[in-house]
Amino acid sequence: MPQAVNLVEVWRNDLLECVHQGHAVICDESGQIVASWGDPTAVIFPRSSCKMLQALPLVESGAADAYHLSEQQLALACASHQASRIHVDPVTQWLADLGLSDDDLRCGPQEPRDIDVRDTLIRATAPVCRVHNNCSGKHAGFLTLTQHLKAGPEYCALDHPVQQACKTAFEEVTGETSPTFGIDGCSAPNHASSLHGLARAMAYFASADDKTDLRAQAAVRLRNAMMTYPELVAGETRACTDLMRAMHHKVAIKTGAEGVFVAIVPERRMGIAVKIADGATRASEAVITALLVRLGVLDPEHPTAIARMRPDIRNWDGLVTGGLRPAKTLH
């Protein structure tokens, strides 16, 4: 990976114990870089941070309206949820409305992150299902588009019409030809872009209100669904949900595996993309929080901002042994 810079420091007493390095970019509505750290040209897999891009064909094709999808379903199509009842039940019903079942999903079964749901399955000796996968909402969206296009059932195949539409949308909104792809944890293709391209895409979502084409309208609907229903995008105690609530539902943010985080900031018409080189979630959460504070859309003294940006580190006895903080260059 190109040269990363120090973005997050971890201190124990007065000694710097750990440093997380990475890259970050803030773009304006024209796609120009407003501020950057590290290398904006670093090519990354956005992982789940780009789910709103993958959902664009669902809306702009007319499939969402043809199948009368609600704003909640659009939020779920962009979600990395924790399989709480508020996630699993609506996705299960969505599949039923399509005349489909858990077997039609191509994401693998995943143990619920929601402890109550997980323990209920264990007590009932019930199987973990594909609908429990954190990407099941995205895949329900893929299946909706599959039916709308009258395409075959293997919707995760790279040459399937659904994935071809996703690739086209991804490249056009990032403004780049993707140099490669990988298979994500949910079996769907994940196309690479530069960090600048990913931030440019987020700025497109942030500034799409004054455009009238179908894609821009789709971007606004997906962005607004995420902001309106942050609990569906992730879940209770999760960074995406907590931070969107702390910003009074005015900003859409989305995490991705291996230290990726993005933000769509409509009131500033800006987009943010972050990549932590070592993939640490604690670092990506701290950096995205610091940059949201930098843009003036998050109160630095809000309890959620403090919890993600400069949390205490405690030992097993509850004693404060150190702390985490963003690098000073982020402020």
Neighbours of 124 (CB within 10 A): 8
34 three-state secondary structure:
strand
Nearest CA-CA partner of 82 in 122, 51, 124, 111:
111
Which pLDDT tens digit goes with each residue over 249-274? 999 999 999 999 999 999 999 999 99
Q: What are the Cα distances from residue 120, in Å, to 101, 116, 123, 125, 267?
A: 21, 6, 5, 8, 42
Which pLDDT tens digit goes with each residue over 12-65? 999 999 999 999 999 999 999 999 999 999 999 999 999 999 999 999 999 999
Neighbours of 85 (CB within 10 A): 12
Domains and CATH numbers, the chain: 5-330 (3.40.710)
Q: What is the CA radius of gyration of the chain?
A: 19
Name the one residue in this structure whose structure tokens are 């201190």: 11
Nearest CA-CA partner of 219 in 175, 256, 266:
266
9 three-state secondary structure:
strand
Which pLDDT tens digit goes with each residue over 109-146? 999 999 999 999 999 999 999 999 999 999 999 999 99
Distance CA 199, CA 197 (A): 5
Name the one residue in this structure whose structure tokens are 């994940």: 190
pTM beyond 0.95: yes
What is the residue-wise DSSP string for 221-290?
HHHHHHHH-HHHHS-TT-HHHHHHHHTTT--EEEEETTTEEEEEEGGGTEEEEEEETT--HHHHHHHHHH
Residue type, 147: Q
Burial of 175 (0-12, 13-18, 19+ CB in 10 A): middle
Nearest CA-CA partner of 307 in 331, 290, 327, 330:
290
Distance CA 16, CA 78 (A): 37
Which pLDDT tens digit goes with each residue over 70-124? 999 999 999 999 999 999 999 999 999 999 999 999 999 999 999 999 999 999 9
Element (H, E) at 305: helix 303-309
pLDDT-derived band at 1, boundaries 50, 70, 90: low
